[in-house]
Amino acid sequence: MNDIFKNKYRGKTVFITGHTGFKGSWLSTWLKELGAKVVGYSLEPPTEPSMFKICSLSEKVTSINGDVRDYSRLSNILNKYKPDIIFHLAAQPLVRVAYKYPIDTYATNVMGTVNLLEAARNVDSVQAVVVITTDKCYENKEWVYGYRETDPMGGYDPYSSSKGCAELIVSSYRKSFYNNSCKALASARAGNVIGGGDWAKDRLIPDFIRAVSEDKSVIIRNPLATRPWQYVLEPLSGYLRLGALMLENAKKYSTSWNFGPYESSVLNVQDILKFSSKCFGKGSIVVDKSSQPHEANLLKLDISKANTYLHWYPVYNIKETVGSTMDWYKEYYINENKNMYDYTVAQIEKYQNKALSHNLKWSE
């Protein structure tokens, strides 16, 4: 694999919370291929099937079973492995689950973040921490332009507000503790990430994949809800670019960052499913008209800050995003590939090569 991100991760110990999840599995794979020593801390994979198990990641990275709500264990593990950089992805990530289990959601997303930051600031080896939140952390006014990093935090539902709280915690810890210790601390906001290997409940593409794999129609709640769809490697490339720069200059990059797609990738639910059906080769839609908990109808991010200061830009258009996602699932379900780790690495290399061919500065 090409040496990108200024070769910053080769030989580094990288600690990932939530490494058994969808994005965590992709990030673990990419970092391993970049030559990092990956140490993951997470609960068991949250779905069955799971990308973590399919790709046999427990055999390729140091995988530790742990809960971010357990401060003592988390602190002991960090002190044992002494990472150089931390990516905090562990979370309860689902809006509808948060309505059902708000206490667990706040405990994980809020106090889990507090525990991670408190433990990390007391480990001398840690140079940088990147906390992953979501585009839903903003006070959503359903306006047509993208939210900027300076817009106020909010959150109508428990999940969204828990992520707004996490952002406030990051800001407080940065000002109160991290600036004084010369450790870098940043937050990264992205949302509606799609890619192969996601089987989470109540997410559009996983719901679609489960349905088509069982020759059923996918049931959707809000066909006209509009989202900024992005391929899983887009925000991950942003996180990795950010982390590499933080290792060089803690003060300059210790702030909040949006990572989202171009305007052309902002589509409604109905359109993204029609395109997915075309790419996969089958699929039908049924609209659930029963009463549903509140979810945002329109949400977009302004990525000009990351463009300007990180020189980070998306690589894939919406056709490539959906196409690559469906290709992964077809490889698993239709071709019955038994080595999905290598296939995943091949998709990462394809993405990297396109970034390099476009001379994107972040891919250096």
DSSP 222: -
Round to whole Å and give the CA distance between 193 and 231.
Answer: 6
* pTM listed for this prediction: 0.96
What mean pLDDT is predicted for residues 176-184?
91
In order of their start, the domains of the chain are 5-195+230-262+297-318+340-358 (3.40.50.720)
Tell me how far the alpha carbon of residue 197 is from its chain's centroid: 13
Spatial neighbors of 306 by CB under 8 A, at least 6 apart, are 238, 257, 258, 259, 312
Closest listed residue to residue 32, CA positions, set 63, 53, 54: 63
Q: In this model, does residue 348 exceed pLDDT 80?
A: yes
pLDDT, tens digit (0-9, with 9 covering 90-100), for 63-93 = 999 999 999 999 999 999 999 999 999 999 9
Judge residue 124's burial from the number of C-beta atoms within 10 Å of its C-beta, 0-12 exposed, 13-18 middle, 19 or more buried.
exposed
User: Would you say 51 and 27 are in contact if contact means Cβ atoms under 8 Å apart?
Assistant: no
pLDDT, tens digit (0-9, with 9 covering 90-100), for 95-153 = 999 999 999 999 999 999 999 999 999 999 999 999 999 999 999 887 878 999 999 99
| C-alpha dist (Å) from residue 311 to 113, 164, 207, 266 | 28, 26, 34, 21
Tokens standing for 340? Answer: 């999905």
pLDDT, tens digit (0-9, with 9 covering 90-100), for 255-275 = 999 999 998 888 889 999 999
The letter for the amino acid at 216 is K
Tokens standing for 54? Answer: 């399919």
Judge residue 312's burial from the number of C-beta atoms within 10 Å of its C-beta, 0-12 exposed, 13-18 middle, 19 or more buried.
buried
Spatial neighbors of 252 by CB under 8 A, at least 6 apart, are 245
